[in-house]
Structure 1
């Protein structure tokens, strides 16, 4: 996949990993369209980029999705890359929170269903490009869950499965390449509550590895510690679950 001369939509592109994606691809001469719900933060992010269009957008709003797609078709017919980065995570225990179902619904809609909806509506535009890509930003928790992030992990596991199916489907009938990047804990505001500042990898590392994946057509990117956890899961699933939930006495499967 080429890394220059693209027109790239990045949802959740005003902060964290999404902003690092924007910086990395902007620096290589691509035009980046960044979205976010907070207009002020979006404008501050855009001011740090060169080839950028900021658009206020909430991925869970279906009417807003229709409006975004219509604008992209009218103003950016050369759009050929979609990076589905916007996400939501809630930290809680399944045995004690009364609003578990509500939190789970928010995560499933944001991290999974909204992505399917946006991708599906952008496929006609992407199919017109000589070379195109869809990227999903999954998680180490898609492979092995952490009990602090129970339904976030479930939403990312669903996204991981969907991404694999999408790759197969589009690979049979289109020129659209499907990438998935699965970061471990990352040092962002998003993960500050669970120790991202102390234990997370830099968001720039995630962005750099996505650029490298484009260069080499590596479609599944196990970033940082994710590769080790995945390999452990293949050889010893129980040990991998323990590694993702340290200090707990786990029931055997």
Structure 2
């Protein structure tokens, strides 16, 4: 995948991994950041002159329709879609009054939103000589973590869908990447110790860019590399590893 002269749309790009990806792509590409928080979007515009920001909630049907219409009209050169927006809750499965609700919200953000955006943008992407879709999943897509059962299920679903879609697109100009980070030091993961124990978001972005250079489609970032090998050789050991108490 080429690293320059792309038009890249990043959902959830106002902070965390999405923002770090935008920073690294910004100097040599046209970057469009989509987010819900106007204050974060304004801060990004000040930080990265020339970046375009669009406010939208990718879980809302009308917002998606308006987003797609705007992008197709204003940025016909779009050739990269990065589905980065995410949502996670720590909700015990046995709390029946809340678990279904929170899991539904996680699936809307982590699974159904990327599907909608891919469906809407794929006709445009397929007209390009070289195009790419990046779905950001997680180490949790490989193996469930008990406290985040809904989140893991939604990322696991996106992982499976990504593999299926990649096979369907194998003879097209659209390359499908999956970015699989471990725990990352972002506000998003602060509730589960990410700020203290996670890898820097900038390093996750760097690994994505490196994978683009060699067309490495499933990107096992940081600890995900070792975990992947453990999971497929010793699945129970991997499960216990992911569910072990966080060291203080």
Q: TM-score range by the shorter chain?
A: over 0.9
* Residues 107 and 152, structure 1, Cα contact 8 Å, conserved in 2: yes
Q: Which residue of 2 aligns with 1:146?
A: 145
How far 1:168 moved relative to its partner? 0.6
User: Counterparts in 2 of 1:1-253, with a 5 A limit?
Assistant: 1-27=1-27, 29-96=28-95, 98-172=97-171, 174-247=172-245
Q: Which moved more, 1:57-66 or 1:95-104?
A: 95-104
Query: Deviation per CA, 1:41-74, whole angstroms, max 9, x where unpaired?
Result: 1110121113310000101011111111111111
How far 1:159 moved relative to its partner? 0.2
In structure 2, C-alpha distance between the alignment counterparts of 1:35 and 1:125, rounded to whole Å? 18
In structure 2, C-alpha distance between the alignment counterparts of 1:243 and 1:76, rounded to whole Å? 44
Instruction: Please give the TM-score of this superposition, normalised by the length of structure 1.
Output: 0.95
* Residues 81 and 126, structure 1, Cα contact 8 Å, conserved in 2: yes
Query: Deviation per CA, 1:190-231, whole angstroms, max 9, x where unpaired?
Result: 001110111100000110011011111000000011111111
1:35 counterpart SS class: strand
* Residues 187 and 202, structure 1, Cα contact 8 Å, conserved in 2: yes
In structure 2, C-alpha distance between the alignment counterparts of 1:101 and 1:94, rounded to whole Å? 8
* Residues 91 and 98, structure 2, Cα contact 8 Å, conserved in 1: no
Name structure 2 gaps, 5 residues minimum. none
* Residues 91 and 102, structure 2, Cα contact 8 Å, conserved in 1: no
2:170 counterpart SS class: helix
CA-based RMSD: 1.1
* Residues 14 and 46, structure 1, Cα contact 8 Å, conserved in 2: no
Q: Which moved more, 1:97-106 or 1:129-138?
A: 97-106
How far 1:97 moved relative to its partner? 5.3
In structure 1, C-alpha distance between the alignment counterparts of 2:190 and 2:236, rounded to whole Å? 27
In structure 2, C-alpha distance between the alignment counterparts of 1:141 and 1:3, rounded to whole Å? 28
1:63 counterpart SS class: helix
In structure 2, C-alpha distance between the alignment counterparts of 1:5 and 1:229, rounded to whole Å? 35
2:54 counterpart SS class: strand
How far 1:247 moved relative to its partner? 4.9
Structure 1 runs (4+) deviating above 3 angstroms are none
* Residues 30 and 51, structure 1, Cα contact 8 Å, conserved in 2: no
In structure 2, C-alpha distance between the alignment counterparts of 1:54 and 1:212, rounded to whole Å? 25
* Residues 20 and 207, structure 1, Cα contact 8 Å, conserved in 2: yes
CA distance 1:247–1:60, shift in 2 (3 Å)? closer
Query: Deviation per CA, 1:69-124, whole angstroms, max 9, x where unpaired?
Result: 11111100000000000010001211235210000100011100111011010011
CA distance 1:50–1:216, shift in 2 (3 Å)? farther
Q: Which residue of 2 aligns with 1:251?
A: none
